[in-house]
Structure 1
Amino acid sequence: MFSVVIPVYNHAQYIRGAVASAMQSQLVTEVLLVDDGSRDASADIIAGLARQHPRLIRDLTTASRENWGAHARLNQLCELASNDWIAILNSDDEFVPSRFEVAQTLARTSDADLIGGALLIIDGQNKILGEKRGLLDPEYAFPSEIDVSGLENREQMLAALCSQNFFATTTNMVFRKSFFRMVGGFSDLRYSHDWDFALKAAIRGKVRLSRSYFARYRIHESNTIKEVSGHVDGEILRFFMRILSEYPEIEKDPLCRAALKSNRHLSRYVPGEVVAVQAPAVDGVATFDWPRRQEYYAIKARPAAGRTSPSASRAQYTLQSTDILPFRALENSAVALQWGHYDFTIISQSLAESPSVSLEADGRMNGVFNARAAALFTGQGSAEWPLRGRIIRCAPREESDGTLKPLTSVPGFEAASVSGSDIVLGAAEEPASPGAVAFPPARNASGPLILVLPMFLAVGGVERNTIEVIRMLRDRYRFVVVTTEWQAKHQGSLHYQLDAIDVPVLDLAEICDRSQHVALLAAVQAWYKPDAVWICNGSPWLADNAEEIRRIFSRTPIVDQQVYDTEHGWINRYSDPGIQSFDHFISINTRIKAKFVSGIRIPPHRISLIYSVIDTTKLSRPLANADQVRMLKAEVGATPDQRCFAFIGRLTGQKQPLHFLALARRSLEAKHNDHFLLVGDGELGGDCDHYIAEHNLTNVTRIRYYDDSWAMMSKIDGLVVTSAFEGLPIVLLEAMAFGRPAFATDVGDIKLVLDDYGSGSVVDPDASEGEMWQAFRDWHDNLAIATANALRHRSDVLERFSSRTISRQYAEIWDRLIAENALADRRVQR
């Protein structure tokens, strides 16, 4: 006997026909229906059918009428089914007569766990449009190695399902309830939970296909699969990478590998060996002997001392440093030495481009070296050529050019060949393969491990947001940060802020060549086994290798936060299946969330709106008094009676600092008694300096860097944001939390937040210079009102965007995904 389960969502016009088709066979003893939060009359129709057929139809709709999603409703109904065999019927489809008699025969004559058949394709008016006969009507050609006539062959069936989903729909499925429980039910997939289930059935059970028609599959405008969405293939990629990780035997079969290569929904099939790594030996043969922090500083006081690995097969490395280096300098050096089989690293305390390196006051270099390379650093004896080394840039808190020197001018390195960060002395050959690596420990000893993937740690709002979340949650989670991109000197660095809270940072661009980043990241995964991955900013390398990243973290939830505008930047890569394969997406404003849902068709429950965080500890001090304000303004050349307006951000095309300087020029020409602060640096720094000099802007003070938010906000009377696009700038929130109003371009959620508190006004980002000046003057004329509102709502802003509030939202996402992932792992082990 069979139970029929029918989840219903907005199919009022089709429900009666669907239920009638299920009731026509005497082999069906119950029909279970549940409404999944429909906005039409579906729930009322279900209730009426249950009243008409109380012995056969069970209405499981609850008063809450929540929308759970198809997979969740299927799991609910299948668990409540009374019979040993279950048939799924989508509420817009219909069964054909004799379906259950054919299924019963197959169930009795074979040991099948999942049974399917052929489908008739119909439209909204029940007109037959065509047919889909399983393996005989593929979406695209199967590899020649697959024999479509081999319906009884398990290997052929598995390979065919690795190529494409010929079941087409859950309506085509009849399965044992015991098997449904064994595989863990249907996965949380919007578009492909049927394919995922069928593939698991082929792996863990037996699948049988009938050439008889099983159902009329309806095609109409509201079909989920007709949605134009990059998330379809992304979702397929996600579940395939997880399955290949859970069942590695699949890829050992040449037939399945050929099928995977033919699978057009995988975008790029990434074989397992691409991300396979050699794990360090447990006995320490291939490990690096990590000193504890206090030992490390003791070593630094004795430049001649060394740290020897437990194995005689590993070289002895000596650390030479005449200064207290950040601990990450040794960590990145140690990883590079192991991975690249280098003889030495030069630790340069600058982000200056190679071959420039920073020297200490006495002319010596900081570095880590073995005995063969010791003379290059100590000046005693001779180095044993050939040698290979690497420059490891250790970003300082503040840059200084005074100690920079070309490497080839350093004694012993005159004949060095420098390519990128690699140094070769003599005819040293590249190693055949990377070495096994022991990575630095995550500092705190308990809690889930979150692997954080920023592009880099430049001086910017994204990086500040990331660091503040880590700071707030470091007692609850272990964090390891891995940057992926080469960081330019003009971008500045916030590495020191993670140094201060003892979070290890691995800079891939410092450790090895970009071509090795995938393999090194796979080694990072194998070592740390993170509980979740947080991508907090995009990068070209990450977007280009998203499929590889999904394969590396195939069984680890990935939380993606790369998009900071709806039209510009990483949003333009979000149709890529690799990125769409990630597990959860953070939108940092309402416009981005709307684009995710309506434009990219990411399921809403996979999206969280989380605004940027502000460091309340920096801004909760009492407001500066009149004397303090007078003193602080004097530091930037402003008199007490002058109003100060600041641009604070990177000097980039996105931020449009020249628009701000145009306002300063107009103010000077109008003889207004205002002062303007241009705060920040970047690739447009030279253009800004030229503009200031060309127009003799005596009312502008240029400040390249600041760290004291309280002092900066005390100097200004208003913030000016001239960006072409934004998410929601942290500096805007800081200004509002300090009671300072803002004038800004209408981008991101700036207007929404300013309007919430009456703390400023906006102008169209495409406004002409004259239009922007007029809007600025209007804001300027009403500055007293905006300032009063900003001061009145200061505490509201502090609470809404506080470190505590925002960090809690991240923690909720990570905890939920980690719990769901653990549940999925348990299902596989059953």
Structure 2
Amino acid sequence: MFSVVIPVFNHEKYLHDAVMSALQSRLVNEVLLVDDGSKDRSPEIITALAKQHPNRIRDLTPMSSGNKGAHVRLNQLCEVAKNEWIAVLNSDDVFVPGRFEVIQALGRTTKADMICGSLAIINEDGSIIGGKKGLLDPEYSHPSSIDPNMLDDPQHMLAALCNQNIIATTSNMTFRKSLFHKIGGFADLRYTHDWNFALLAALVGKVHISSSYLTKYRIHGSNTIKERSGHIDGEIRRFFYKLLADYMQIEASPLCRDGLIGNQHLAPYVTQNQIAIREMETVPFSFNWSRSKEFYRVKSRHLSKHPFAELGEHAYVLSSRDGLNFRALENSVAAIQHNGYDFVILSHALEESPVVTINSDGSFDCIFNAAAASLFLEGSAYGKKLRGRIVRNALKENWPHLTDDLSNIPAFQPASIDGPEITFGDRPHNRSAHKIVFPETSDGTGPLILVLPIFLAVGGVERNTIEVIRALRHRYRFLVITTERQLPHQGSLHYQLDELNIPTLDLAEIADRSDHVSIMHSINDAYKPDAVWICNGSPWLADNAERIRRIFSHTPIVDQQVYDTEYGWINRYNDPGIQSFDHFIAINQRIKAKFISEIRIPPHRVSLIYSAINTSKLSRPLASPDEFNNLRINLGLSADSKCFAFIGRLTSQKRPLHFLEIARASAASGHDDQFLLVGDGELGVDCDRFISDNSLSNVRRIKYYDDSWAMMNVIDGLIITSAFEGLPIVLLEALSFGRPAFSTDVGDVKIVLQEYAAGCIYDAGATTTEAWEEFLVWRGNLERYTDGARRHRVDILDRFSSRAIARQYADIFDRLIKF
């Protein structure tokens, strides 16, 4: 006997015919239905049918409510099915008369665990408009090595399913309940749970496809398969790469490899060889700080060679004035191991090669082997063939340091310096990747979260990331991996993670971009993270999304790259590689809406989380009148005038020149308002020129600040001129100090300002004159907006505190790790 399971969702027009097609066979003694939150009359139809056929139809809708998804409802129904054989029927499809009699006979003769058949394609009215006979009617051309007439052979069946979904729909599946339990049920996949289930059935059981037409598959306007979404191929990548990691015999089969290569939904199919490092001997080291083994520190440039004799030809010596942090050591050692360098020079600032930081005695912080000892101990590499690298280890912005150009130093004048690469003699570049041995991250407990920012510049995204890590570091272990080379004007927040003892690796400092995939593979092998959090996108990551998916095939990936609905990373989100990730964080409501409605990411895979602010810095009482006066004096500002600030990177996105246009108009109108331009970036020179050319004595330029309390206390309002934003942290900080804002209508700024009556917005496309006029309106209502911001200061601190925001991230991490 057979159990028929029918998950129902908004199919009132077709539901009755579907149920009747199941009841027409005497071999079906139960039909199980559950409504999945339909908005039409489907629940009432189910109730009526159950009353008409009380002995054969069971309505399970009261067990749960709301829209959970097809896979949840299928699992729910299959678990309670009484019979060993279960047939799935979608509520818009119908069974062909006599199908169960055919399946019963096939079950006895083939000993199959799952039986499928050919499909008749029908339209909304039930008229037959076509058919599909498995691989004989393929979605696209299949490899000639896969014979459609040999699908009873398990390898051909598996290879065919590796190539395309020849089953086509769950309505074409009848399987043993024991197979359902062996597979573990249907996976959380919106579009492709049928294909994933069929592949697993072919791996752990026997699948048979009959040439008989057993099901009528209906084509109509609301078919899920008609949805245009990169998430379809993204889902396919997600489950395929997990499957390939679980069942290595798939890629070991030449026939299955042909199927994978020809799978157009996987194209380009990422093979294991495209991510795996070559098996090579690891460069040995004489020191290892993480395991308490002794290492040598050179305190004098004239140290004898005695340590090298003791440690052997592969000895590496650390020469450092004050010792180095984890980041400096690990980036250096990873660079040496991966590339086989003879030495690494540590530079503690972001200046580009060949400029490096030097110690007061003219020495470098460096790591070198016996071959390079003479270069660093005697100041000569005469006759040597050496390769080395400059690894930058940026410290605090105001860290005092000396720099020099390597080409000015006699010992390095014979060298060829190409970016960070340094070569003496004709030693060839070793392009074969070595395996890197990484130390443990920390002695802490809890799941390990691998964090992937583009870099750790001085910016809102990076500050949000650090605040979340700060709030959750006792609940999880964190490892931060940056992917792009940081520019000097971007500044660095690395030191904040150093202070929190959060290990950080910078791929761009370790090796060239072409090697980053293999290094990431080594990182995964070494640490086996429980979750990956992409907290800011990068060109390398977007270009290698499929490889990232394959490397972390068993690890949930939380993606948070998009900061606008029109510009930037949003334009990469129809890429199946990116859509193969497991969960997506939208930083404002507009982005969330676009994720769901246009990009078609399933709603349960999208969360709205705003940026976090560090309340430990911001919850201090506001400055007293004396403190206010002193703060103004320290910045060279008048205590009697209003002061308005732009705070952010000086980039084309932030449009600082628009801010300066407002300051210019203010000066030309005879106002005594003062303006602070706070930040640095690629437009810094242009801003300085504008200030000089227009003689703007009402503008004070500050490149960097680290005291939010002091900065927010000196200003009377914040001005945001950005072309696009998510929800700027600097806005939340200003509001938490009771400072109102005047902003372009970007991201969720309007929503927040209106909710707290703390400012107003203007059109981002406004002309200079229009922006000035809007500013005057805001300026005229400054007292009212200031009152609104101050009345809601505590609410803002509570809502956007790092503690409150971090809890939302933790909920996502915990749910995905548990799943």
Q: TM-score range by the shorter chain?
A: over 0.9
In the TM superposition, residue 432 of structure 1 has moved relative to its aligned partner by 5.7
Does the Cα contact within 8 Å between 2:92 and 2:218 map onto a contact in 1? yes
Does the Cα contact within 8 Å between 1:340 and 1:512 map onto a contact in 2? yes
Measure the CA separation in 2 of the matches of 1:373 and 1:686.
Answer: 41
Partner of 1:69: 69
- Decide whether aligned partners of structure 1 residues 237 and 287 sit closer, same or farther in structure 2, where only a CA change above 3 A counts: farther
Partner of 2:445: 446
Partner of 1:263: 263
Partner of 1:375: 374
- Decide whether aligned partners of structure 1 residues 251 and 63 sit closer, same or farther in structure 2, where only a CA change above 3 A counts: closer
Partner of 1:177: 177
- Decide whether aligned partners of structure 1 residues 126 and 138 sit closer, same or farther in structure 2, where only a CA change above 3 A counts: same
- Decide whether aligned partners of structure 1 residues 64 and 154 sit closer, same or farther in structure 2, where only a CA change above 3 A counts: closer
- How many residue pairs get matched? 818
Structure 2 residue 493 is the aligned partner of structure 1 residue 507: no
Of residues 266, 289, 292 in structure 2, which corresponds to 1:291? 289
- Aligned partner of residue 404 in structure 1, secondary structure: strand
Does the Cα contact within 8 Å between 1:71 and 1:188 map onto a contact in 2? yes
TM-superposition CA deviations, 1:321-373 (whole Å, max 9, x none): 22454431111101111111111001011211112222222211111001111
TM-superposition CA deviations, 1:728-772 (whole Å, max 9, x none): 000000111111100000110000011111011000111111111
Measure the CA separation in 2 of the matches of 1:270 and 1:314.
Answer: 39
Amino acid paired to 2:240:
F
Does the Cα contact within 8 Å between 2:295 and 2:318 map onto a contact in 1? no
Partner of 1:779: 778
- Decide whether aligned partners of structure 1 residues 201 and 23 sit closer, same or farther in structure 2, where only a CA change above 3 A counts: same
1:261-410 aligned within 5 A:
261-277=261-277, 289-292=287-290, 299=297, 315-379=314-378, 385-398=384-397, 403-410=402-409
Measure the CA separation in 1 of the matches of 2:159 and 2:699.
Answer: 68
Measure the CA separation in 2 of the matches of 1:152 and 1:261.
Answer: 22
- Decide whether aligned partners of structure 1 residues 156 and 742 sit closer, same or farther in structure 2, where only a CA change above 3 A counts: same
- Decide whether aligned partners of structure 1 residues 395 and 73 sit closer, same or farther in structure 2, where only a CA change above 3 A counts: same
Measure the CA separation in 1 of the matches of 2:601 and 2:313.
Answer: 49
Does the Cα contact within 8 Å between 1:642 and 1:673 map onto a contact in 2? yes
Measure the CA separation in 2 of the matches of 1:808 and 1:306.
Answer: 54
In the TM superposition, residue 297 of structure 1 has moved relative to its aligned partner by 11
Partner of 2:703: 704
- Aligned partner of residue 735 in structure 1, secondary structure: helix
Return 5+ residue gaps in structure 2 as ranges.
Answer: none
Amino acid paired to 1:578:
G
In the TM superposition, residue 529 of structure 1 has moved relative to its aligned partner by 0.4
Deviates more, 1:531-540 or 1:363-372: 363-372
Partner of 1:114: 114
Partner of 2:14: 14
TM-superposition CA deviations, 1:425-464 (whole Å, max 9, x none): 0111233622222213212431100000000001100000
Deviates more, 1:56-65 or 1:147-156: 56-65
1:422-441 aligned within 5 A:
422-431=421-430, 433-441=432-440
Structure 2 residue 539 is the aligned partner of structure 1 residue 578: no
Amino acid paired to 1:735:
A
- Aligned partner of residue 264 in structure 1, secondary structure: coil
Return 5+ residue gaps in structure 1 as ranges.
Answer: 821-830
Amino acid paired to 2:480:
V
Partner of 2:168: 168
In the TM superposition, residue 404 of structure 1 has moved relative to its aligned partner by 2.6
- Aligned partner of residue 647 in structure 1, secondary structure: strand
Does the Cα contact within 8 Å between 1:286 and 1:437 map onto a contact in 2? no
Measure the CA separation in 2 of the matches of 1:124 and 1:313.
Answer: 79
Measure the CA separation in 1 of the matches of 2:617 and 2:304.
Answer: 41
Measure the CA separation in 1 of the matches of 2:131 and 2:284.
Answer: 59
In the TM superposition, residue 808 of structure 1 has moved relative to its aligned partner by 0.6
Partner of 1:54: 54
Measure the CA separation in 1 of the matches of 2:222 and 2:177.
Answer: 30
Does the Cα contact within 8 Å between 1:308 and 1:317 map onto a contact in 2? no
- Aligned partner of residue 266 in structure 1, secondary structure: coil
Does the Cα contact within 8 Å between 1:450 and 1:533 map onto a contact in 2? yes
1:757-768 aligned within 5 A:
757-768=756-767
- Decide whether aligned partners of structure 1 residues 582 and 57 sit closer, same or farther in structure 2, where only a CA change above 3 A counts: same
Amino acid paired to 1:244:
L
- Decide whether aligned partners of structure 1 residues 2 and 307 sit closer, same or farther in structure 2, where only a CA change above 3 A counts: farther
Deviates more, 1:416-425 or 1:192-201: 416-425
Partner of 1:805: 804
In the TM superposition, residue 75 of structure 1 has moved relative to its aligned partner by 0.4
TM-superposition CA deviations, 1:563-603 (whole Å, max 9, x none): 00000000000000000000000000000000000010000
Measure the CA separation in 2 of the matches of 1:301 and 1:675.
Answer: 51
- Decide whether aligned partners of structure 1 residues 122 and 288 sit closer, same or farther in structure 2, where only a CA change above 3 A counts: farther
Amino acid paired to 2:616:
T
Measure the CA separation in 1 of the matches of 2:771 and 2:292.
Answer: 56
Measure the CA separation in 1 of the matches of 2:431 and 2:734.
Answer: 54
Structure 2 residue 221 is the aligned partner of structure 1 residue 224: no
Measure the CA separation in 1 of the matches of 2:74 and 2:742.
Answer: 51
Measure the CA separation in 1 of the matches of 2:587 and 2:793.
Answer: 21
- Decide whether aligned partners of structure 1 residues 383 and 80 sit closer, same or farther in structure 2, where only a CA change above 3 A counts: farther
TM-superposition CA deviations, 1:644-668 (whole Å, max 9, x none): 1000000000000000000000111
In the TM superposition, residue 399 of structure 1 has moved relative to its aligned partner by 6.4
TM-score (norm 1): 0.96
Partner of 2:235: 235
- Aligned partner of residue 150 in structure 2, secondary structure: coil
Measure the CA separation in 2 of the matches of 1:442 and 1:812.
Answer: 23
Does the Cα contact within 8 Å between 2:445 and 2:476 map onto a contact in 1? yes
TM-superposition CA deviations, 1:128-182 (whole Å, max 9, x none): 1111111110000110111111121111110000000011100000000000000
Measure the CA separation in 2 of the matches of 1:124 and 1:199.
Answer: 30
Partner of 1:82: 82
- Decide whether aligned partners of structure 1 residues 305 and 194 sit closer, same or farther in structure 2, where only a CA change above 3 A counts: farther
Does the Cα contact within 8 Å between 1:69 and 1:190 map onto a contact in 2? yes
Superposed CA RMSD:
2.1
Measure the CA separation in 2 of the matches of 1:98 and 1:112.
Answer: 19
- Decide whether aligned partners of structure 1 residues 435 and 723 sit closer, same or farther in structure 2, where only a CA change above 3 A counts: same
Measure the CA separation in 2 of the matches of 1:185 and 1:309.
Answer: 60
- Aligned partner of residue 412 in structure 1, secondary structure: helix
TM-superposition CA deviations, 1:785-814 (whole Å, max 9, x none): 111111110000000000110001111100
Does the Cα contact within 8 Å between 1:279 and 1:523 map onto a contact in 2? no
- Aligned partner of residue 265 in structure 1, secondary structure: coil
- Decide whether aligned partners of structure 1 residues 248 and 287 sit closer, same or farther in structure 2, where only a CA change above 3 A counts: farther
Deviates more, 1:89-98 or 1:320-329: 320-329
- Decide whether aligned partners of structure 1 residues 389 and 381 sit closer, same or farther in structure 2, where only a CA change above 3 A counts: closer
Measure the CA separation in 1 of the matches of 2:525 and 2:262.
Answer: 29
1:386-785 aligned within 5 A:
386-398=385-397, 403-431=402-430, 433-785=432-784
Does the Cα contact within 8 Å between 1:630 and 1:640 map onto a contact in 2? yes
Does the Cα contact within 8 Å between 1:250 and 1:256 map onto a contact in 2? yes
Amino acid paired to 2:470:
R
- Decide whether aligned partners of structure 1 residues 248 and 286 sit closer, same or farther in structure 2, where only a CA change above 3 A counts: farther
Partner of 1:5: 5
- Decide whether aligned partners of structure 1 residues 288 and 100 sit closer, same or farther in structure 2, where only a CA change above 3 A counts: farther
1:86-105 aligned within 5 A:
86-105=86-105
Does the Cα contact within 8 Å between 1:307 and 1:317 map onto a contact in 2? no
TM-superposition CA deviations, 1:48-102 (whole Å, max 9, x none): 1001100000000017521110001000000010000000000000000011111
Identity of aligned residues (%): 59
Does the Cα contact within 8 Å between 2:358 and 2:401 map onto a contact in 1? no
- Decide whether aligned partners of structure 1 residues 343 and 177 sit closer, same or farther in structure 2, where only a CA change above 3 A counts: same
Amino acid paired to 1:610:
I
- Aligned partner of residue 395 in structure 1, secondary structure: coil
